[in-house]
Amino acid sequence: MTKFSNIDPIAPSLTALRSVLLITSQDLPCGIDTARLLPAESKLSVLSQPADLSPEHIRDLAPDLVLAPLIGPTWDGLDVAIALARAGYRGRLGIVSPRLPRQDLVLREMQALCPALDICLLPLPDGAAK
């Protein structure tokens, strides 16, 4: 599995994605335009909260990538990572966030709690977060 560290290195590989799972109760913060980045033949599935995840969802959707915001209305990216790990997902998780002063600390905590996931923080351009 290829590890990724920010949106620039994964952008070219997005053209190979067959299935993407978006976990959000609203549009992802501006700065990541899934319609522009994903090929037209990619299947985009949306769940409104990590509690909706199940092993059956992961098996049926077989996502190549999961995208979620760092902060949701009642949950956060760590909740998403834990729910994915519990559901048996072992792939790439992109957490969309504003630029953080120490994003390495956030990433390290998430990776320590969910080592089977390939987790990346996808920082938005300055001023792009809602």
> How much is the pLDDT for 48?
84
Distance CA 108, CA 59 (A): 27
Domain range list for the chain: 7-123
Distance CA 30, CA 123 (A): 11
- At residue 118, φ and ψ (nearest 5 deg) are -95, 90
Q: Could you list the pLDDT tens digit for every one of the 130 residues in the chain? A: 333 344 444 444 566 677 888 887 665 554 455 666 666 777 888 888 898 899 999 999 999 999 998 988 889 999 999 999 999 999 999 998 888 889 999 999 999 999 999 999 888 766 554 4
Per CATH, the homologous superfamily of domain 7-123 is: Response regulator (3.40.50.2300)
Strands 92-97 and 65-69, sheet pairing: parallel
Angstrom CA distances, 79 to 9, 66, 86, 116, stand at 25, 13, 11, 15
User: Under a CB-based contact definition with an 8 Å cutoff, are residues 27 and 128 in contact?
Assistant: no
**Global pTM?**
0.79
> How much is the pLDDT for 71?
87
* Other beta carbons less than 10 A from residue 18's beta carbon: 13
Q: Exposed, middle or buried: residue 69 (CB in 10 Å: 0-12, 13-18, 19+)?
A: buried
